[in-house]
Structure 1
Amino acid sequence: MALSPYGPHGPLIGKVGNLVSYILNGQAVTRTIGHKRTRHSKDQLANYQSMAVTMRLLKNMTTFINSSFEIEARGTVKNQHNLATSYNKKQALQGEYPNISVDYSKVVLSYGDLEIAQNLKMVKTDTGLQISWDTQDGLAHDMVMILVHHPVDGQSRNYINACRRDAGSHFIPFVEEEKLHEQMEVYICFKSADGKRISNSVYLGNLNGAQETEEEKQEKRKYDALKARFEQVSANYLWMQQLDRGLHTSTKAFRTLEKEYEVLKNRLDRLPGKPI
């Protein structure tokens, strides 16, 4: 049932048939409620995985992107998370389904026209990260924003007010020594003191190389186990096709084997964890 709290000529709020209406950021929105499909095309599955990978990337970056995309979101019906999702789903993914992953060098955490500092550098020390840049007199009061992302556990360190641009450097201490040796992807951007302008985000680089997450390890174990079973079934399937000049292909045993072969082949094509 839908309600009409804004009068007979205003927008409806609620459900009518397969339509649902609501207010989003001050704008009336109506959309259809689709039926859940049991089978999906490869393109649909690729889109679902792309969205899942993007959402997993941004999950613990909320504090940062709420500040970095706040300027761009002003006066629109989009929020900061919408913008971050759109940019990174389009620009920061690599590979094909079912092995879509993040290209960390292309991650977008801010977008604007404020000048980026020159000579950006990052050095890992025994106790943390030292990040430095050239200072500029006219932009001295800009705030520096830094994000350190740990892909292994998906956590992020958000420094939305790390220091002023004229500081020329910022040190990030690491209390947990093991974190200093994990894979890190580091980003920086600059925001004007009045909060009206922001720079594009800059990828400072990777530290400690690429490391597998626990989820990726599990996916590979599942893929290897399924591949081993498929190879066994495939060998039996091909052998029975050749046996007695193909007479066995009409038996129930062969039809059962053929069905398992097709199911395993389809699952193997769609299961993540395949070596790249």
Structure 2
Amino acid sequence: MALSPYGPHGPLIGKVGKLVSYVLKGRVVTRSLGPKRTKHSKKQLANYQAMAVTMRLLSNMTTFINSSFEIEARGTFKNQHNLATSYNKKQALKGEYPNISVDYSKVVLSYGRLKVAENLKMVKTGTGLQISWDTRGGQVNDMAMILVHHPVDAESGDHLNACRRDAGTHFIPLDEERLKQQLEVYICFKSADGKQISNSVYLGNLNGETDSPEVQKEKEKYVVLKKRFDQVSAEYFRMMELRLTASIDNKAFRTLEKEYKVLAEKLKYMPGKPG
């Protein structure tokens, strides 16, 4: 159902037939709905998973990207989330369907012409992260923006106004538990007047990569299904050998054959397969 918030002669907002209309940055956008599909190609499934992985990554970085992509979004009909999604879906993913994941070293959190600091360094201490850089270049009052991402908990720590460029260093306190987890850290610089921003820089990973609870569940499900497939497969091929010398085409065999094919198809596109 669509609404008419602009009066009887204004545009409709919502769904009418196969059209959906909504307001984006003051402009009414209308799109057609594609046909519903019951079966998707591998390419479509890969695209769906790539989008899901990207959305999951950015969902807890909203505060940061709303600030870091705000300059690029100005004067366009795109918003900050659109830009972040476009960049990272194209550049920050690795692997093939059904095991697409994030390449944290290629995550993009800002694009701009402001000078990035040189000699960026990150050191883990007993109480947090010490980040430092060369103060030469850029303006002394440029602001450092730092993001500490915690993939296991799907959380991010935003430090939008960490300190001025001329400070040359910034300390981020973290508790002992956080310091043991996988950490992915990024930095960029924004001008004091908010008109320019630098490219984001990946400061690095700490403590290696750890599977998230979601990925762990996917792997557990894969193991269970693979175990069942191996059992069914062994029985299926045993029966197939018997068919060479005897006529076997009863209901039990047809049921076994159907289960074998269903399980084989599921395993082909099921995430969680060991690399």
Q: Give distance in 2, aligned partners of 1:138 and 1:232.
A: 65
* 1:144 paired residue number: 144
How far did residue 4 of structure 1 move?
8.3
Q: Give distance in 2, aligned partners of 1:113 and 1:38.
A: 46
Higher mean displacement: 38-47 or 109-118: 38-47
- The question of whether the paired residues in 2 share the 8 Å contact of 1:234 and 1:261 is answered with yes
Q: Give distance in 2, aligned partners of 1:255 and 1:56.
A: 41
- The question of whether the paired residues in 2 share the 8 Å contact of 1:137 and 1:166 is answered with no
Q: Give distance in 1, aligned partners of 2:48 and 2:137.
A: 47
Distance 1:80 1:246, change over 3 A: farther
* 1:135 paired residue number: 135
* 2:37 paired residue number: 37
1:179-208 deviation per Cα after TM superposition (whole angstroms, max 9, x unaligned): 011000000000011101100000000001
- The question of whether the paired residues in 1 share the 8 Å contact of 2:186 and 2:200 is answered with yes
How far did residue 245 of structure 1 move?
1.1
- Any residues of structure 2 matched to 1:239-250 within 5 Å, and which? 239-245=238-244, 247-250=246-249
Instruction: Give 5+ residue unaligned stretches, structure 1.
Output: none
Higher mean displacement: 34-43 or 91-100: 34-43
Distance 1:62 1:244, change over 3 A: closer
* 2:113 paired residue number: 113
Opposite residue 28 of structure 2, the aligned amino acid is A
Secondary structure of 1:64's partner? helix
- The question of whether the paired residues in 1 share the 8 Å contact of 2:65 and 2:109 is answered with yes
Opposite residue 269 of structure 2, the aligned amino acid is R
How far did residue 35 of structure 1 move?
4.5
Opposite residue 45 of structure 1, the aligned amino acid is L
Secondary structure of 1:86's partner? helix
* 2:171 paired residue number: 171
* 1:180 paired residue number: 179
Secondary structure of 2:145's partner? strand
- Any residues of structure 2 matched to 1:225-244 within 5 Å, and which? 225-244=224-243
Instruction: Give 5+ residue unaligned stretches, structure 2.
Output: none
How far did residue 33 of structure 1 move?
2.8
Secondary structure of 1:203's partner? strand
* 2:254 paired residue number: 255
1:105-134 deviation per Cα after TM superposition (whole angstroms, max 9, x unaligned): 000000011100000000000000000000
How far did residue 47 of structure 1 move?
1.0
Distance 1:195 1:98, change over 3 A: same
How far did residue 11 of structure 1 move?
3.6
* 1:211 paired residue number: 210
- The question of whether the paired residues in 2 share the 8 Å contact of 1:144 and 1:160 is answered with yes
How far did residue 269 of structure 1 move?
1.0
Secondary structure of 1:189's partner? strand
Opposite residue 259 of structure 1, the aligned amino acid is K
TM-score, normalised via structure 2 length: 0.95
Opposite residue 37 of structure 1, the aligned amino acid is R
Opposite residue 144 of structure 2, the aligned amino acid is V
Secondary structure of 1:250's partner? coil
1:52-87 deviation per Cα after TM superposition (whole angstroms, max 9, x unaligned): 111111111111000000000001111111111111
Q: Does 1:159 align with 2:159?
A: yes
Opposite residue 256 of structure 1, the aligned amino acid is T
Distance 1:61 1:14, change over 3 A: closer
Q: Give distance in 2, aligned partners of 1:88 and 1:129.
A: 25
- The question of whether the paired residues in 2 share the 8 Å contact of 1:13 and 1:23 is answered with yes
Opposite residue 108 of structure 1, the aligned amino acid is V
Higher mean displacement: 209-218 or 228-237: 209-218
Opposite residue 211 of structure 1, the aligned amino acid is T
Q: Give distance in 1, aligned partners of 2:52 and 2:33.
A: 21
1:2-26 deviation per Cα after TM superposition (whole angstroms, max 9, x unaligned): 5483675x54434332112232212
